[in-house]
């Protein structure tokens, strides 16, 4: 969609120079603002026209029945869906007697700019009403990173060439009418008008609505304050009913005169707190924001982002679109995770209702690595959320006849919400992914307090799960049978290599953490016998291998399956899951998304160079990338095994997933994992960054298209700058004591005195493998030279 000429390329902003109504659903996602707690889609201020109105609060959801044609033991009974909460964005405008609605009259100009340096969304437009009255409207919206319950809009309307009577209605609206979604009617009914009114108030410039969900019994309060500046006589009045609270401002503007309204909205929600307590919470948040003032909030936002960019920026010379895309990616990942604070980070962040607002392994495997090296505090919070759901995960394990904890494949509050168990409950690898995120965070930050209070428990309970899921065979080899790995086109398979390697790491790390923290281990009833068993299992873990082909098997027997008939598959039959029965997909060699290839990245030490290259060559022609999580993983390994051009094409695919709406579903919300994968493709792909324990290594190598790549990392209490130019890499210790890193195998000690540069060895480029017909990466819509 952004290939449309109305979008401009720029290093720090996403600029839409003209409004295309047919792109609204997508542009609302890319212009969404969030801080991880509150999320506002980029809906137009006046509410209509819209693709999908969206205001979300992290964790706020309704329950609905889960549809099953046939019941089965252990199937989750109820689903959870993030719901559209009270809309505080709405500011309707009447120009003389005509509603300001861009579908009517004449739109003379319309521009929206997402300013990623300042964290605000600007809008400017000039419109002539059907009766010939012209107004200029400017708005600036932000969702505050520093005051997490607060979102605010500064809205200005100006008469252009004739006097106009203006009426502005600033509203809080609950139970907004939403476009109808096809699907299970029971779900639709449960989610229609999900909020029951508890209290409404309009007093002067102050508005408030309090509601409660019908089934999940969550209470939400939204309150708004306004500051109004306009020429005399500007008048205000307010009113409220169960679902709408409204401030009405009337003014008469002479040409050149402006009416400015600063609207600040506070949100609060709780499962447990009483109505007065939730009410007081939003009132207190509004009072705090009021004392900061609109400009103060904007200044705080700017400082927050200055710090973020100083820690996290990635500079790319040679491809302006990718420069823009990586900053867009970093910005949105920050928005998804920055202030999630002991809540999940959903697969779509707070940008849309795709995947019902659920979180998956996307968080630990794709999002948290980026945040670990750029905003580590957010990682501790995300993992503490997992820890807070341990009671539910323990119950789930018991229900499944297992020990330890079985974390859900998809969830909002920790309960399993998957209605299709082969690609849900059976995807046990999510447990090892969580454990891996714990290990990575602790070893990058040295946060012993976190390890003691949260890490040990997460590692121990997941290790116990693996012990009960797996078994030693008569030779002593450890197997984990009947699970689904990352590739959802093979389900309920034995010895998935990715799962086994990650589980082995989980077991070993749990044993080590228990030894480092004997007190916590004892509290969890871990003894030496148990840790010894974990170590034995890890040591004896089976990795299926095909001796003849000299490649690792994705799972036992995979390479013996019949290959998928790619030649007979038409381009319009992708994604395969929508056109072929799972029964057929599961029994053939066809890969939805990187699985063995992902294992070569996350557990690279288990594969030598020759195997990495051969495995990559083997799995490429089978991998169809029917998931947006694949391209970035393939980029990293393609770069490692020397296919720079291919790696670049995959990087572009990951980076432009949403900006170019490559999967035609950006309207449902952004693909946060793919956005984080853009960072992964650049930093771990072309930067060749790997971090295991106390080793931080780089194997930088630029693709032909780029002349420079530079990024920062926070690790071991240091800030490190890495700059790669053609033929040379430079490492600069920007903060903290000296440290040792590896550059293409050579150990380098970095000190604060001066940067260290090393040549980048030439690549031995060899022919890249082919992808299935029609699945080669490369931008389908021609990437254009834009402004
Ligand atoms: C992928 C999963 C992913 C989910 C949410 C699915 O299509 O196969 O790996 O977790 O989308 O992004």
pLDDT at 636: 98
pLDDT at 785: 40
Establish whether residue 347 lines the binding site of ligand 1, counting it when its CB lies within 6 angstroms of any ligand atom. yes
Burial label, 583 (beta-carbon count in 10 A; 0-12, 13-18, 19+): exposed
How far is the centre of ligand 1, averaged over its atoms, from the C-alpha of 626 (Å)?
Answer: 9
Establish whether residue 360 lines the binding site of ligand 1, counting it when its CB lies within 6 angstroms of any ligand atom. yes
* C-beta of residue 244 within 8 angstroms of C-beta of residue 169: no
Which atom of ligand 1 approaches the CA of 409 most closely?
Answer: 10
Establish whether residue 576 lines the binding site of ligand 1, counting it when its CB lies within 6 angstroms of any ligand atom. no
Establish whether residue 361 lines the binding site of ligand 1, counting it when its CB lies within 6 angstroms of any ligand atom. yes
With the most atoms of ligand 1 within 8 angstroms of its CB, the residue from 351, 412, 629, 666 to mutate is: 629
Establish whether residue 593 lines the binding site of ligand 1, counting it when its CB lies within 6 angstroms of any ligand atom. yes
Per-residue pLDDT of 105-138, as tens digits, reads 999 999 999 999 999 999 999 999 999 999 999 9
Establish whether residue 362 lines the binding site of ligand 1, counting it when its CB lies within 6 angstroms of any ligand atom. yes
pLDDT at 184: 60
Establish whether residue 640 lines the binding site of ligand 1, counting it when its CB lies within 6 angstroms of any ligand atom. no
* C-beta of residue 231 within 8 angstroms of C-beta of residue 254: yes
Tell me the average pLDDT across 576-585. 96
Residue ranges and CATH numbers for the domains of the chain are: 7-65+78-275 (2.70.98.40), 308-346+544-787 (no CATH), 389-542 (1.50.10.10)
| CB-CB neighbours of 97 under 10 Å | 11
- The tokens of 456 are what? 């040990």
Residue closest to 787 by CA, chosen among 193, 111, 137, 55? 111
Establish whether residue 673 lines the binding site of ligand 1, counting it when its CB lies within 6 angstroms of any ligand atom. yes
Which atom of ligand 1 approaches the CA of 410 most closely?
Answer: 10
How far is the centre of ligand 1, averaged over its atoms, from the C-alpha of 347 (Å)?
Answer: 8
- Considering the chain, what percentage of its residues have pLDDT values greater than 70? 97
Separation of alpha carbons 678 and 632, rounded Å = 6
Provide the whole-model pTM: 0.97
How far is the centre of ligand 1, averaged over its atoms, from the C-alpha of 629 (Å)?
Answer: 7
- Please give the mean pLDDT across all residues of the chain: 95
Establish whether residue 627 lines the binding site of ligand 1, counting it when its CB lies within 6 angstroms of any ligand atom. yes
pLDDT level of residue 6 (50, 70, 90 thresholds): confident
- Whether the pLDDT of residue 4 is over 80: the answer is no
Separation of alpha carbons 159 and 253, rounded Å = 6
Establish whether residue 626 lines the binding site of ligand 1, counting it when its CB lies within 6 angstroms of any ligand atom. no
pLDDT at 782: 45
How far is the centre of ligand 1, averaged over its atoms, from the C-alpha of 591 (Å)?
Answer: 13
pLDDT at 320: 96
pLDDT at 78: 87
* C-beta of residue 544 within 8 angstroms of C-beta of residue 552: yes
Residue carrying the six token digits 């609505």: 209
Burial label, 770 (beta-carbon count in 10 A; 0-12, 13-18, 19+): exposed
Protein residue closest via CA to atom 1 of ligand 1 = 627
pLDDT level of residue 778 (50, 70, 90 thresholds): confident
Which atom of ligand 1 approaches the CA of 423 most closely?
Answer: 8
How far is the centre of ligand 1, averaged over its atoms, from the C-alpha of 627 (Å)?
Answer: 6
- The tokens of 73 are what? 């033991």
Q: Which helix (H) or strand (E) holds 219?
A: strand 219-229
Establish whether residue 670 lines the binding site of ligand 1, counting it when its CB lies within 6 angstroms of any ligand atom. no
With the most atoms of ligand 1 within 8 angstroms of its CB, the residue from 434, 483, 488, 595 to mutate is: 488
Protein residue closest via CA to atom 4 of ligand 1 = 360
The annotation places the binding site at: 361-362, 592-593
How far is the centre of ligand 1, averaged over its atoms, from the C-alpha of 426 (Å)?
Answer: 14
How far is the centre of ligand 1, averaged over its atoms, from the C-alpha of 595 (Å)?
Answer: 12
Tell me the backbone φ, ψ of residue 13, rounded to 5 degrees. -145, 155
Protein residue closest via CA to atom 12 of ligand 1 = 347
Which atom of ligand 1 approaches the CA of 361 most closely?
Answer: 10
Establish whether residue 366 lines the binding site of ligand 1, counting it when its CB lies within 6 angstroms of any ligand atom. no
Per-residue pLDDT of 307-329, as tens digits, reads 999 999 999 999 999 999 999 99
Is 111 annotated as catalytic?
Answer: no
How far is the centre of ligand 1, averaged over its atoms, from the C-alpha of 358 (Å)?
Answer: 11
Protein residue closest via CA to atom 7 of ligand 1 = 627
Separation of alpha carbons 326 and 575, rounded Å = 26
With the most atoms of ligand 1 within 8 angstroms of its CB, the residue from 344, 346, 354, 362 to mutate is: 362
Per-residue pLDDT of 335-352, as tens digits, reads 999 898 899 999 999 999
- Whether the pLDDT of residue 464 is over 60: the answer is yes
How far is the centre of ligand 1, averaged over its atoms, from the C-alpha of 425 (Å)?
Answer: 13
Q: What would the 3-class secondary structure string for 568-618 be? A: HCCHHHCCHHHCCCHHHHHCEECECCCCHHHHHHHCHHHCCHHHHHHHHHH
Tell me the average pLDDT across 210-235. 97
pLDDT level of residue 192 (50, 70, 90 thresholds): confident
Separation of alpha carbons 578 and 358, rounded Å = 21
Cα 65 to Cα 199, 409, 652: the distances in Å are 28, 18, 40
Q: Which helix (H) or strand (E) holds 206?
A: strand 206-213
Separation of alpha carbons 114 and 29, rounded Å = 12
pLDDT at 191: 80
- Whether the pLDDT of residue 779 is over 70: the answer is no
- The tokens of 165 are what? 């009577």
The annotation places the binding site for substrate at: 361-362, 592-593
Which atom of ligand 1 approaches the CA of 355 most closely?
Answer: 5
Protein residue closest via CA to atom 9 of ligand 1 = 486
Residue 704, phi-psi category: left (phi > 0), alpha (psi -120 to 50), beta (remainder):
alpha
pLDDT at 338: 87
Which atom of ligand 1 approaches the CA of 360 most closely?
Answer: 10
Protein residue closest via CA to atom 6 of ligand 1 = 627
pLDDT at 786: 39
How far is the centre of ligand 1, averaged over its atoms, from the C-alpha of 765 (Å)?
Answer: 32
Establish whether residue 489 lines the binding site of ligand 1, counting it when its CB lies within 6 angstroms of any ligand atom. no
- Whether the pLDDT of residue 765 is over 90: the answer is no
HSE, CB side, 13 Å, CA atoms: give it for residue 770: 4
Which atom of ligand 1 approaches the CA of 592 most closely?
Answer: 8
Residue carrying the six token digits 């405008």: 93
Least confident span in 177-181, 298-302, 667-671: 177-181
Residue closest to 627 by CA, chosen among 581, 665, 587, 570? 665
pLDDT at 787: 34
Establish whether residue 430 lines the binding site of ligand 1, counting it when its CB lies within 6 angstroms of any ligand atom. no
Protein residue closest via CA to atom 8 of ligand 1 = 627
pLDDT level of residue 333 (50, 70, 90 thresholds): very high
* C-beta of residue 678 within 8 angstroms of C-beta of residue 656: no
Q: Which of 171, 488, 553, 714 is catalytic?
A: 488
pLDDT at 643: 96
- Considering the chain, what percentage of its residues have pLDDT values greater than 90? 93
Separation of alpha carbons 53 and 98, rounded Å = 22
How far is the centre of ligand 1, averaged over its atoms, from the C-alpha of 533 (Å)?
Answer: 33
Q: Where are the beta strands (DSSP E) in 342-485?
A: 471-472, 478-479
pLDDT at 1: 56
User: What 3-state class would DSSP assign to 78?
Assistant: strand
């Amino acid at each position: 969609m952004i290939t449309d000429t109305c979008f401009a390329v720029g290093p720090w902003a996403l600029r839409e120079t003209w409004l295309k109504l047919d792109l609204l659903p997508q542009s609302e996602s890319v212009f969404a603002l969030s801080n991880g707690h509150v999320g506002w889609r980029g809906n137009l201020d006046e509410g209509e026209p819209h693709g999908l109105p969206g205001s979300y609060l992290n964790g706020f959801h309704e329950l609905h029945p889960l549809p099953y044609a046939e019941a089965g033991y252990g199937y989750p009974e109820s689903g959870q869906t993030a719901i559209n909460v009270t809309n505080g964005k709405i500011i309707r405008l009447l120009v003389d007697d005509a509603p300001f609605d861009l579908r009517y009259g004449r739109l003379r100009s319309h521009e929206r700019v997402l300013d990623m340096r300042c964290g605000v969304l600007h809008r400017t437009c000039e419109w002539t009403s059907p009766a010939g009255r012209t107004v200029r409207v400017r708005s600036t919206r932000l969702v505050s990173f520093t005051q997490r319950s607060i979102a605010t809009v500064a809205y200005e309307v100006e008469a252009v060439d004739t006097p106009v009577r203006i009426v502005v209605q600033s509203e809080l609206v609950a139970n907004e009418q939403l476009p109808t979604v096809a699907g299970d009617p029971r779900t639709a009914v449960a989610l229609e008008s999900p909020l029951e009114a508890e209290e409404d108030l309009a007093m002067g410039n102050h508005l408030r609505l309090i509601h409660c969900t019908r089934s999940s019994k969550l209470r939400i309060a939204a309150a708004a304050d306004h500051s109004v500046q306009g020429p005399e006589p500007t008048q205000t009045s307010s009113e409220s009913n169960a679902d709408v609270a409204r401030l009405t401002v009337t003014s008469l503007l002479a040409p050149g005169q402006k009416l400015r309204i600063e609207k600040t909205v506070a949100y609060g929600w709780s499962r447990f707190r009483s109505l007065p307590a939730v009410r007081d919470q939003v009132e207190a948040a509004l009072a705090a924001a009021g004392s900061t003032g609109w400009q103060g909030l904007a200044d705080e936002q700017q400082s927050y982002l200055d710090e973020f960019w100083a820690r996290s920026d990635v500079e790319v010379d040679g491809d302006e679109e990718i420069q823009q895309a990586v900053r867009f990616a970093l910005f949105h990942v920050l928005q998804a995770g920055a202030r999630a604070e002991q809540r999940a980070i959903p697969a779509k962040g707070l940008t849309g209702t795709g995947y019902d607002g659920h979180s998956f392994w996307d968080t630990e495997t794709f999002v948290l690595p980026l945040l670990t090296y750029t905003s580590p505090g957010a990682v501790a919070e995300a993992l503490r959320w997992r820890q807070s759901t341990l009671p539910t995960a323990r119950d789930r394990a018991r229900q499944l006849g297992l020990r330890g904890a079985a974390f859900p494949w998809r969830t909002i509050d920790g309960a399993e919400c998957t209605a299709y168990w082969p690609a849900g409950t059976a995807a046990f690898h999510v447990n090892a992914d969580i454990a891996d995120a714990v290990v990575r965070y602790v070893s990058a930050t040295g946060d012993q307090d976190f390890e003691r209070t949260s890490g040990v428990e997460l590692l121990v309970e997941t290790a116990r799960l693996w012990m009960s899921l797996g078994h030693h065979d008569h030779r002593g080899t450890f197997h984990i049978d009947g699970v689904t790995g990352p590739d959802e086109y093979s389900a309920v398979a034995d010895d998935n290599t990715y799962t086994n390697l990650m589980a082995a790491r989980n077991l070993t790390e749990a044993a080590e953490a228990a030894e480092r923290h004997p007190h916590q281990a004892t509290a969890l009833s871990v003894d030496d016998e148990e840790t010894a068993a974990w170590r034995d299992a890890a040591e004896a873990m089976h990795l299926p291998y095909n001796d003849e082909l000299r490649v690792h098997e994705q799972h036992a027997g995979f390479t013996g399956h019949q290959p998928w008939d790619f030649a007979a598959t038409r381009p319009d039959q992708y994604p395969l899951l929508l056109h072929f029965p799972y029964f057929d997909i599961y029994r053939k060699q066809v890969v939805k998304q990187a699985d063995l290839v992902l294992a070569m990245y996350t557990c690279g030490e288990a594969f030598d160079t020759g195997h990495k290259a051969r495995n990559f060559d083997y799995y490429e022609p089978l991998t169809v990338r029917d998931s947006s999580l694949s391209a970035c993983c393939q980029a990293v390994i393609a770069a490692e095994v020397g296919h720079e051009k291919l790696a670049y094409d995959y990087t572009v695919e990951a980076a432009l997933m949403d900006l170019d709406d490559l999967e035609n579903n950006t309207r449902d919300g952004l693909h946060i994992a793919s956005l984080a994968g853009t960072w992964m493709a650049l930093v771990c792909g072309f930067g060749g960054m790997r971090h295991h324990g106390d080793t931080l290594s780089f194997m930088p190598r630029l693709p032909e298209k780029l002349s420079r790549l530079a990024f920062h990392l926070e690790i071991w209490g240091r800030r490190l700058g890495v700059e790669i130019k053609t033929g040379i890499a430079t490492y600069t210790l920007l903060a903290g004591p000296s440290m040792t890193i590896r550059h293409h195998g050579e150990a380098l000690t970095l000190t604060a005195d001066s940067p260290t540069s090393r040549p980048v060895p030439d690549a031995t480029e060899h022919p890249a493998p082919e992808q299935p017909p029609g699945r080669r990466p490369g931008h389908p819509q021609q990437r254009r030279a834009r402004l």
